Amino acid sequence: MAAATTASPIEQSRPAFALSGKAKEAIKVGLAIVVTYWLALKFSWMSPTWAAVAVAVISQPGEGQSLYKGLLRAIGTFLAFFSSLVLLALFPQDRWMLFVGVSPVLGYFAYKMKGENDYLWYVAGFVTVMIITAGPQQPGHAFEFAAYRTMETLIGIGVWAVISSLLWPVTNLGVLKSATDALLDAQRQVAQHGFELLSQREGAGSPPALLAQEAQLVAKVGSLINVAASETYEVRIVRRSWLALQQASLKFMHTANRLRLGAEDLEQIDMDAALPALPDLSAELGARFAEARSLLAGKPSSRPCREVSLEIDRQAIEHLDHFQRAAVEVARTELEQLDAQTRTMVYAVGEIAGGREAVAGKAPQSTKPLRGPAGLRPIDRDQLIAAAFVVASVWVSAFIWIYINPPGHVAWVQFVPTLALAAMRMPHVRFFPLRLMGYAFLVGMGVYVFIMPHLSGFVQLAALLFAFTFLTDYYFAAGRMPLLLSMLIMFGITNEQSYNFASMANSYLYTMMGIIVTFALTYMVGSPRPEKTFLQQTQRFFRSCEFLVSHLDPPESFVGQVREAYYRNVLRTLPAKMCIWAKRIDAKAFPKNSPGQVAGLLEALQLLAYRVDDLLGSRGESAAKVLAGDLGESVREWRAVVDQAFHNWSEVPETDAAPEQMDRFSGHVAGLNARIEQLFNQSGRAEISDAEGRSFYRLLGTYRGVARAGLVYAKQARAIDWAEWREERFE
Amino acid sequence: MFDLIPNEFAIGGVYLPPLLVCAVFGLILATATANLLNKYRLARHFFYPPLVFVAFAVIYTVLIGTFVIRA
């Protein structure tokens, strides 16, 4: 008992009062805002709020100096500076032509607004509308306006960089290393669960929480590499190795996922007997993850990666039918991929620990994004809609300004497209930030009316700004950005501060009207109800599957290649987007569809996406001719059934959940198996070479994989009450 | 009873248009109605609820403007 009450030496040396990390971040942001305002007011810059807005946007609590985000903002601002000045120079006296010119530029920025650099394009978009509206506001001063805007943004970035690197500096290197270590540990556990599932010692596989953690860590490491490289030389020189590690982890996640989701295909098969080296590979992968973590922690290399030969025991699979053999072959291919991916991880971590760049030739290849013909990226429908929506917002706000001219006047053309750009960055959180802005403006109004007129001098103003920024950052971290932006705009701080209630009330009115108009415009994109979007996405998913399965032969024409790239891209990206929307479905409003059921449906869709992608990837297999020739008729029949199922699901997602359809589906698979057996017996193909055999079974495995994934989907779709989601309700 | 309700509202010496006040109350009532319809699963009988919501807001605004706060 006495020992429990005695403070340890560490506790004794701890100061009585210590600031939390959250408080430190809030102090840093508050200080940066105050210093930025001081500089802007001291030098009488055009709008001091711009510099402060830059600080509010780039300061990210808990993620170090955010210099990378600052860099993106600076590039975006420069891009907007040049594009808007060109537009103003081209159409100096014609507002309609100016809007015609702005539309494609803004549409392009909105289209590009995805991926890790989406912030750059977002900034380019909203600064462009900001500068072009300077024309009507201050004719003849557009260049000055644009130059001030650019300079103040850069000053805001600079102030934040200095403060965050001098005061309680936090670099992202530590965060990156700890996230990578956690990722390696999570993937070790995923691999372990996967092998247990294959050996059928445990039937559950990885728990969903572990898989979610793995996905989050892969994304986190990916987002941190460029951020850390922008601030740390140690990361910059081995950036390629970090990227190779992250790509290998991403591939590992997908391969392990395929293996896990496809494990049901192997349930009747003794995998330990079919692949005797399975326990050996399991132990080797575990050792590789341990080695990678040890290298990351700065310890010397203790063991090289060992070769594990995954040979199939022919005697053990003799009694299996051809589809089961194909499933074993597919599993072996996936296990070999896991082997290669973990090897890449160890190699990349070795290079990171050694502090040298990856050696050419040895460096692992990163996953290349899907490309269409002529190396072009496939068209993204969601981004096209985002572009159309942003352009529409420009025109709607222009009409409101020109023909109605409500309070706000030309600022409508600036405010509504900015909100539209923000809404399209995160389409699944449509109204939350807008509502938050409404509240923040209300608070800002209170401060503007009751506190600000009593301030005399910068010291008092600084105290107010610091207090507000600190409280917002500390207590409302989730909505800090819209809150800070709204308040800074509402304060409207300038050197010659004047107070006007009518102007403030007008400003609030126009802000609220702008928010309502933007929200109403979002109906152009579709219903804000997540379950409705989910339904549409499910149908789109199956339309893509239908197209890809019905056009299996590689297209020769340019248009055909563009279409295939488009649908394949949908297949690869849509399940992840659907996951985001599914999380926003209100489970209380739809009690018949539990989150677990929705997660099961999503897993089935993901499995289907993998299998259809595998089917397309298998077109180059040398055994493809066998399936096209001897088994052509059966394969065509099978394809017709699958094609019809996809078509039905694309119209009504639960159509083929009927048992008779499922029987028909699996009946064709069984028929094909009998036909293969017959052909093998007739032509003595049992004696085919090992390479040919592997190719044949791999190909057969992809066909079987699609069919099995379809059956899994049908089973999951039956558990969902689709009518409940379709039912109309108010938002 | 409604005669007692002023048809002009002043906050801090600034008069607010009666229509604005009516619209605010109309929106509040429309939101309450929509929530009730959702709760009792009656919203499913409407073809397009967002338009119905706008219609509710307009109807309530007109009713309040005509009978309660005479604009």
Nearest-by-CA chain B residue for A731: B50
Contacts of A125 (CB under 8 A, 6+ apart): A80, A106, A109, A110, A113, A390, A417, A418, A421
Q: Name every chain B residue with its beta carbon within 8 A of the beta carbon of A729.
A: 38, 43-44, 49
* Structural Rg of chain B based on CA atoms: 14
Distance of CA A510 to CAs A405, A498, B26, Å? Answer: 11, 20, 19
Alpha helix segments (H runs only) across A652-689: 659-683
What's residue A108's pLDDT? Answer: 95
Q: What is the mean pLDDT of residues A515-525?
A: 86
Facing B37 at nearest CB: one of A501, A502, A730: A730
B14, β-bridge pairs = B11
User: Which helix (H) or strand (E) segment is B15 a member of?
Assistant: strand B14-16
Highest mean pLDDT among A136-145, A311-320, A628-637, A720-729: A720-729
Distance of CA A651 to the CA centre of its chain: 27
Min Cα separation B7/chain A (Å): 20
The Cα diameter of chain B in Å comes to 46
Min Cα separation A427/chain B (Å): 18
Instruction: Please state the domain extents for chain B.
Output: 23-69
Facing A501 at nearest CB: one of B12, B44, B49: B12
Is A502's CB within 8 Å of B49's CB?
no
Nearest-by-CA chain B residue for A505: B14
A-side interface with B, Cβ within 8 Å? 449, 501-502, 505, 523, 589, 727-731
First vs last C-alpha separation in chain B: 16
What's residue A429's pLDDT? Answer: 72
Q: A367 — alpha (psi -120 to 50), left (phi > 0) or beta? A: beta
Total beta-carbon pairs less than 8 A apart between chain A and chain B: 35
What's residue A1's pLDDT? Answer: 36
pLDDT band at A361 (very low <50, low <70, confident <90, very high): very low
Min Cα separation B1/chain A (Å): 31
Q: Which amino acid is at A647?
A: H
Cα torsion A691, A693, A695, A698: sign: negative
- Is pLDDT above 90 for A645? no
Q: B44 at the A interface (CB within 8 A)?
A: yes
Is A501's CB within 8 Å of B34's CB?
no
Is B47's CB within 8 Å of A523's CB?
no
Min Cα separation B35/chain A (Å): 7
Is A729's CB within 8 Å of B48's CB?
no
Distance of CA A723 to CAs A66, A368, A657, A720, Å? Answer: 46, 40, 14, 9
Alpha helix segments (H runs only) across A318-431: 322-354, 381-399, 411-425
Supply the angle between the helices A142-166 and A48-58 in degrees, to the nearest 10.
Answer: 40
What's residue A226's pLDDT? Answer: 80
Using the 8-state DSSP alphabet, how is residue A404 labeled? I
Give the residue from A367, A381, A331 showing the smallest Cα distance to A568. Answer: A381
Cα–Cα distance for residue pair A302/A325, rounded to 1 Å: 38
Give the residue from A198, A216, A210 showing the smallest Cα distance to A338. Answer: A198
Give the residue from A709, A701, A703 showing the smallest Cα distance to A333. Answer: A701
Q: B47 at the A interface (CB within 8 A)?
A: yes
Which is higher by pLDDT, A373 or A157? A157
Q: Name every chain B residue with its beta carbon within 8 A of the beta carbon of A589.
A: 38
pLDDT band at A545 (very low <50, low <70, confident <90, very high): very high
Give the residue from A351, A213, A361, A344 showing the smallest Cα distance to A289. Answer: A344
Q: Name every chain B residue with its beta carbon within 8 A of the beta carbon of A727.
A: 41, 43-44
The C-alpha torsion from A283 through A284 and A287 to A289, rounded to 10°, is: -110
Q: Are A192 and A289 in contact (CB under 8 A)?
A: no
Is B49's CB within 8 Å of A727's CB?
no
What's residue A105's pLDDT? Answer: 96
Interface test with A, best of B44, B45, B53 (most A CBs within 10 A): B44
Cβ-based burial of A10 (10 A; exposed 0-12, middle 13-18, buried ≥19) = exposed
pLDDT band at A109 (very low <50, low <70, confident <90, very high): very high
Splitting chain B (71 residues) into consecutive groups of 10 residues, what average pLDDT does each group show?
66 77 92 93 90 94 88 59
Facing B14 at nearest CB: one of A505, A728, A729: A505
pLDDT band at A12 (very low <50, low <70, confident <90, very high): low
Could you give the 3-state DSSP secondary structure of residue A427? coil
Nearest-by-CA chain B residue for A450: B12
Facing A730 at nearest CB: one of B12, B47, B49: B49
Q: What is the mean pLDDT of residues A88-116?
A: 89
Q: Kindly report, residue by residue over A655-688, the tens digit of the pLDDT.
A: 765 455 555 555 556 666 777 777 666 655 555 5
Q: B35 at the A interface (CB within 8 A)?
A: yes
Mean pLDDT across chain B, nearest whole number? Answer: 85
Q: B34 at the A interface (CB within 8 A)?
A: yes
Facing A729 at nearest CB: one of B14, B43, B47: B43
User: Which helix (H) or strand (E) segment is B14 a member of?
Assistant: strand B14-16
Q: What percent of chain A has pLDDT over 90?
A: 23
Interface test with A, best of B9, B14, B54, B58 (most A CBs within 10 A): B14
pLDDT band at A208 (very low <50, low <70, confident <90, very high): confident
pLDDT band at A202 (very low <50, low <70, confident <90, very high): low
Q: B14 at the A interface (CB within 8 A)?
A: yes
What's residue A710's pLDDT? Answer: 86
Q: Whose structure tokens read 């501060």?
A: A497
Contacts of A603 (CB under 8 A, 6+ apart): A261, A716
Q: Are A708 and A264 in contact (CB under 8 A)?
A: yes
Residue A539 CB neighbour total at 10 angstroms: 15
What's residue A182's pLDDT? Answer: 94
Cα–Cα distance for residue pair A308/A120, rounded to 1 Å: 45
- Is pLDDT above 60 for A46? yes
What's residue A188's pLDDT? Answer: 93
Could you give the 3-state DSSP secondary structure of residue B11? strand
What's residue A443's pLDDT? Answer: 84
Q: Name every chain A residue with its beta carbon within 8 A of the beta carbon of B14.
A: 501-502, 505
Contacts of A485 (CB under 8 A, 6+ apart): A53, A56, A57, A437, A440
pLDDT band at A463 (very low <50, low <70, confident <90, very high): very high
User: Which helix (H) or strand (E) segment is A613 a member of?
Assistant: helix A595-617
- Is pLDDT above 50 for A7? no
Residue A432 CB neighbour total at 10 angstroms: 13
- Is pLDDT above 50 for A4? no
Cβ-based burial of A487 (10 A; exposed 0-12, middle 13-18, buried ≥19) = buried
Give the residue from A702, A709, A624 showing the smallest Cα distance to A665. Answer: A709
Q: Are A383 and A569 in contact (CB under 8 A)?
A: no
Q: Which amino acid is at B41?
A: R
Supply the angle between the helices B49-63 and B18-39 in degrees, to the nearest 10.
Answer: 140
* Structural Rg of chain A based on CA atoms: 30
A177: tokens are 């290393």
Give the residue from A209, A187, A176, A190 showing the smallest Cα distance to A292. Answer: A187
Is B48's CB within 8 Å of A727's CB?
no
Distance of CA A22 to CAs A60, A63, A470, A475, Å? Answer: 11, 11, 10, 9
Which is higher by pLDDT, A622 or A285? A285
Q: What is the mean pLDDT of residues A322-351?
A: 88
What's residue A301's pLDDT? Answer: 80
Q: Kindly report, residue by residue over A426-462, the tens digit of the pLDDT.
A: 887 766 666 777 788 888 888 888 888 888 889 999 9
- Is pLDDT above 50 for A59? yes
Q: Name every chain B residue with its beta carbon within 8 A of the beta carbon of A513.
A: none
Residue A280 CB neighbour total at 10 angstroms: 14
Q: B39 at the A interface (CB within 8 A)?
A: no
pLDDT band at A535 (very low <50, low <70, confident <90, very high): very high
Supply the angle between the helices A118-132 and A67-90 in degrees, to the nearest 10.
Answer: 40
Mean pLDDT across chain A, nearest whole number? Answer: 82
Cα–Cα distance for residue pair A82/A146, rounded to 1 Å: 9
What's residue A167's pLDDT? Answer: 85
Q: What is the mean pLDDT of residues A179-198?
A: 90
Nearest-by-CA chain B residue for A590: B41
Q: Name every chain A residue with its beta carbon within 8 A of the beta carbon of B34.
A: 730-731
- Phi and psi for A6 in degrees, rounded to 5? -85, 130
What's residue A15's pLDDT? Answer: 60
Cβ-based burial of A459 (10 A; exposed 0-12, middle 13-18, buried ≥19) = exposed
Cα–Cα distance for residue pair A377/A370, rounded to 1 Å: 7
Is B35's CB within 8 Å of A730's CB?
yes
Cα–Cα distance for residue pair A307/A109, rounded to 1 Å: 48
Is A730's CB within 8 Å of B38's CB?
yes
Min Cα separation A114/chain B (Å): 29
Q: Kindly report, residue by residue over A619-635, the tens digit of the pLDDT.
A: 777 666 666 666 777 77
Q: What is the mean pLDDT of residues A453-476?
A: 91
pTM score, whole prediction = 0.82
- Is pLDDT above 60 for A357? no
What's residue A480's pLDDT? Answer: 82
What's residue A362's pLDDT? Answer: 46
A588: tokens are 């209380």
Q: What is the mean pLDDT of residues A504-513?
A: 83
Q: What is the mean pLDDT of residues A82-101?
A: 89
Q: What is the mean pLDDT of residues A46-74?
A: 76
What's residue A258's pLDDT? Answer: 83
Q: What is the mean pLDDT of residues A699-715?
A: 83
Nearest-by-CA chain A residue for B44: A728
Facing A729 at nearest CB: one of B12, B44, B47: B44
